[in-house]
Amino acid sequence: MKAAVFYYSQSGQALKAAESFCGLMSAVFKEIIPLQKYPFPWSRKDFFQAFPESRLGLPPSGIEPIDFSDIEDADIAVVAGQSWFLSPSLPLQSFFLDEGVRAYLNGRKVIFINACRNMWLMTSRRIKEYLSQAGATLVGHIVLQDRASNLVSAVTIIRWLLHGKKEATSILPPAGVRVEDLEGASRFGEETMRVFESGDLSGLQPALLEKGAIKYKPSILAIEKTGHRIFGFWAKFIRKKGEFGEERRQGRLSLFYYYLLFVLFCLSPLVQLFFWITYPLRRVQYNKLIDCNV
Ligand SMILES: Cc1cc2nc3c(=O)[nH]c(=O)nc-3n(C[C@H](O)[C@H](O)[C@H](O)COP(=O)(O)O)c2cc1C
């Protein structure tokens, strides 16, 4: 089985996940290189600058051309990346909007590996839309996420993304997806090969889910769905003032920063508490979310 692997990763986390996944396959890796560069670690200003365009699906640049000549015969395409602001990261969106990429993906089966903090549902929906516009089919969806609680991972990811500090402290775990979870992605690759040999990849996702490809956290899904809607209003509000990089929108971006701090550290814990108290009434609704995830 030959895989064409497209990846974007700032710290190497999503790349590591893809490498583990492809362990036993013949795989050709193609890096997604956006023309607009995103720094790592981020300054606060650059970090929030990426918000409106991530949420609205308006990446500020395309990508460097990809040479497809050695992957025309690939049996499967794997895309490895991450969520930014409850959406596919801007480099991933540039990738899916690229005409050459769309032509390549047309008619192909695709597996998406998301190595993120813990909010990935709306990213997967957007990626399914991009794939269907390209004439491709999502046959597998794997999510590797931070195991820490929502509150703790919010602190550790800020330390990591804005200050470059990934390591644990005496009170905090290390930021990001655990090394053993990244390495453990090999079992999803092995399962994919097994299902591929049976000749029908349409049954892949249930097999991957059996192996733990997605861990559902219902209260986080609830926060994400509401947050995504509210982010939409904010993103449009900020874009009215200016496009990517324009100084004029800085005031509104700063307002969004304080809003996000309030949501992450004040509102989310209360929403989670309310969610669990009312969960018995919502169980069916959330099981539907789980069922429809490819
Ligand atoms: C601008 C930005 C926004 C992010 N937003 C989210 C998010 O909405 N949901 C999430 O689970 N993780 C989010 N993350 C974390 C990333 O998905 C990812 O785990 C992290 O950036 C490391 O990815 P890497 O492979 O590029 O190093 C965000 C990261 C960045 C840089």
pLDDT tens, 101-131?
Answer: 999 999 999 999 999 999 999 999 999 999 9
Percent of the chain with pLDDT strictly greater than 90: 84
242: left (phi over 0), alpha (psi -120 to 50) or beta: left
Q: Is 30 close to ligand 1, i.e. is its CB under 6 Å away? A: no
Asked whether residue 28 is domain-assigned, the answer is: yes
Task: For ligand 1, say whether the CB of 11 is within 6 Å of any of its atoms.
Answer: yes
82 shares a domain with 182: yes
Contact, 76 vs 196, CB < 8 A? yes
Counting the structural domains of the chain, the total is 2
Q: What share of the chain is helix, strand, coil (3-state, %, to 5)?
A: 55, 15, 30
Q: What is the pLDDT, as a whole number, of residue 287?
A: 72
pLDDT at 294: 56
Q: In this structure, is residue 58 part of a structural domain? A: yes
Say yes or no to pLDDT of 257 above 60: yes
Output the pLDDT for position 290: 65
Q: What is the pLDDT of residue 204?
A: 96
Ligand 1 close to Cβ of residue 85 (< 6 A): yes
Report pLDDT digits (tens) over 183-240.
Answer: 999 999 999 999 999 988 989 999 999 999 999 888 898 889 889 999 999 999 999 9
The answer to whether residue 160 sits within a structural domain is no
On whether residue 245 sits in a domain, the answer given is yes
Q: Is 7 in the pocket of ligand 1 (CB under 6 A)?
A: no
| 161 belongs to a structural domain | no
Residues 263, 199 within the same domain: no
Residues 74 and 188 in one domain: yes
Tokens encoding 41:
């670690």
Ligand 1 neighbourhood includes 118 CB (under 6 angstroms)? yes
Return d(Cα 183, Cα 174) in angstroms, integer. 16
CA distance 110 to 172: 36
Output the pLDDT for position 282: 79
- Same structural domain, 91 and 227: no
Looking at the fold, whether 139 and 252 belong to one and the same domain comes out as: no
Shared-domain flag, residues 104 and 125? yes
Give, using CA atoms, the residue closest to atom 19 of ligand 1. 116
Q: Whose CA is nearest to atom 16 of ligand 1?
A: 116
The Å distance, Cα 125 to ligand 1 centre, comes to: 17
Q: Name the percent of the chain lying above pLDDT 70.
A: 98
Residue 166 in domain: no
How far is the centre of ligand 1, averaged over its atoms, from the C-alpha of 82 (Å)?
6
CA separation for the pair 90, 109 (Å, rounded):
22
Say whether both 94 and 117 belong to one domain.
Answer: yes
Residues 187 and 58 in one domain: yes
DSSP state of 23: T
Compute, in angstroms, the gap from residue 230 CA to the centroid of ligand 1.
Answer: 19
Which residue range forms the structural domain that includes residue 197? 2-147+176-215
- Counting from 1 in the atom list of ligand 1, the atom nearest the Cα of 82 is 17
Q: What is this structure's pTM?
A: 0.95
How does pLDDT run across 37-68, given as a tens digit for each residue?
Answer: 999 999 999 999 999 999 999 999 999 999 99
Cβ atoms of 191 and 150 within 8 Å: the answer is no
- Does residue 152 form part of some domain? no
Specify whether 122 is located in the same domain as 249.
no
Ligand 1 atom closest to the Cα of residue 157 is: 15
Q: Is the pLDDT of residue 292 over 60?
A: no
Residue in 83, 93, 119, 214 to alter for ligand 1 test, most ligand atoms within 8 A of Cβ: 83
CATH code, 11: 3.40.50.360
Within this chain, do residues 119 and 252 fall inside the same structural domain, yes or no?
Answer: no
Give the residue ranges of DSSP H helices in 164-249. 179-183, 186-197, 204-210, 218-239
In a domain, 249, yes or no: yes
Using the 3D structure, point to which of 215, 243, 266 is the last residue of a domain: 215
Does one domain contain both 201 and 283?
Answer: no
Same domain, 141 and 61: yes
Q: Are 204 and 139 within 8 A, CB to CB?
A: yes
- Mean per-residue pLDDT of the chain: 94
pLDDT in tens, 170-186: 999 999 999 999 999 99
